[in-house]
Chain A
């Protein structure tokens, strides 16, 4: 199908050319040429005209296209116009000069070739010959006249004859002679021209004739032919000159058309890829990357277009890759969002301005807020809803800080009750050294857990107390039964057994009393008697108790300007002693304890850091519960009492890991309003 169409077109063109050629052969009467030459010439003429028309058509089409490009300001039209103008100008100027010079030369040549001066000798010879023939004609005519009058004049070579009747083949001259009109004529012959004169004579005519020598006739004929040839050439002067100028004009036009065509072709070869690039760029800008600019040249433009195509391909691949990555990211986002919405911990994401960007369902349920109210809410407004001093303090501490991660347990008023939240705030950043992009707040409601833990702890306390109480009861019962048996048997060693048994009973009762005293102390701590005190003195009084004690080294670091705090000195001293005892036991009486004193935002911090084995995270939550002890023989009440003393002072104890090893117990106590601004020297 693809080859059939050009074949049909070619066949049609050939048939058309043959038909036109046949018509030309028929109508152009070139009978002086043989048939083959006529067909050949007509065929060439047809082909040339067809090709000329084709050239004119293509040039016209390209010029029209260039004109339309100029109107629409298509890409590359300026370059094409410039190139075509330069080409045509470069060709036109020499061609025009060549045309003018050649046509001038040709005209001059033809003028010279056919000038009358060149034929002057021939014309003179013709005039001379005519004069001779005129003379001979007059001489013969004169002889005939004389003969007609009857006088005789000697005329060498002239023959006189008389005719009384006209012959059948009489010439016009002879016929006119018989009608009374004289005349003379020349009859050309190869044997010699005859000059004949006819003069009427009575009823007949006198005919006088002379025969010229054949050589003279031959030379006269040759002169006539030369003269005729010259006339023919002069006759051709105008058409030859005109044809020559037309030829030159045609050649000039061919050159100009060819130059124009080549200029259009070259400019099109250059600008078409540029136009394609411009169109492709527009499509790419519109988002269509499935485009390739077609180019056939292997020059710099071809390389340029190929690079462009390669760039588009890479762009397309990048776009596909981005789309895939986006899809993957979106899938992952959905996955994470599902996780986020389904986990039981509350999650909030805050931007750097403190506005809540994201919240999950658990967070909204714990906060008791609707989604549309949470989104975009400032965290400061959120805090005020809970009326939580812990939260206020925490946020105040965080103001202006470069936060990495903060973990706190706080108490908040929510839903008409006091709840305990464990809150973890993490700064979200691209790398460790970069600034935070926002804050991720994760919080859990520990209220029920703590209640359960406390319940479990008190059950454990009850079990232990029962156990501890039962332990002395057994020896007491055994001793009592032994005494009764000895007394009933009236044994001789009753006295010794009595003493020993009663001593045992006394010991066990003392043990019970101590046990009751300890629990009594925890359950009924004495009322605190607050008074301004120097935290450094407090620390000093505690440290003095441990000076030279085992292999423990104690260092005290204190900031300058620590304000006094309103505390019960003795109770806080007891709390510190409990923490110190715990640390020394953890270090197995060997290590370094560093006590740091500092203040910030109305609080005084006393940190007791040891380099012992540290406390596992899962135990940190239960450390302050009564009777929680990992130590053999411990009551589990030391840290519980310390925590109770500190919380009774409105403070708290924070536990964190020491670096590189050990634990840090930080006692945080508010300074108290009356001591605000009072600084120690």
Chain B
């Protein structure tokens, strides 16, 4: 067990290193042209450009620039090109909104995905099941920002039931926080509810054919009890595995579209605004930290699952 954990942690460190190199290269090596020139603007003199190049370290060899960038990222000293403000402080400011969005949505999509998947499996082939299939299909076929825009138009602008976007901190006004978060939560959840209900439905249908389910029924247990205690417990495994990964991806920047539509001022929207301004450092930091988080969480999940489930081969 100890060796498995160590090996998993070593490979995690390697992946983190590779991610940092790849992200650095995407932003520093791929774009043509001189970043110093972009920073200085069109009317800059060659002296200004040279000075910028020296202060930002663009004249150093590439591995030196990588080390410099990483030192700044890890010590929280990255400065944005356009507004010259500290990037990591901006990210910290956006974190409450992003976490509120991700946690609330993850709870909703898990609960609704499981409930609807179970309902579909219980009524497999019937009208309810077919209606749920059609809804799930629609959910995975709509871009999130379109769902968000239409909900905003109908429920906020037309009917005035919800505020028109924006974020209110939970600590300042809990009721306002809730009313600002409900639409974003359901917008972000729609796609995942579609996927999860399908996965759970087929997983439940597979489990229903198992011998121990027949045994439970033969014991005379009620159908409901069989479903909840014997079937659901086992069919939840694939859904829970998915849930961990998707949750990590949403916190790591996957909610960028939802945040932008609802103007939540979260980390994702900060990235989106920086893209609009062609401001590289914030995007670099957010992409790097986001994927770091995904790797950290999926490693933790692997270890937890290995501890919980002795059947998983520790050797592989």
On whether the two chains bind one another, the answer is no
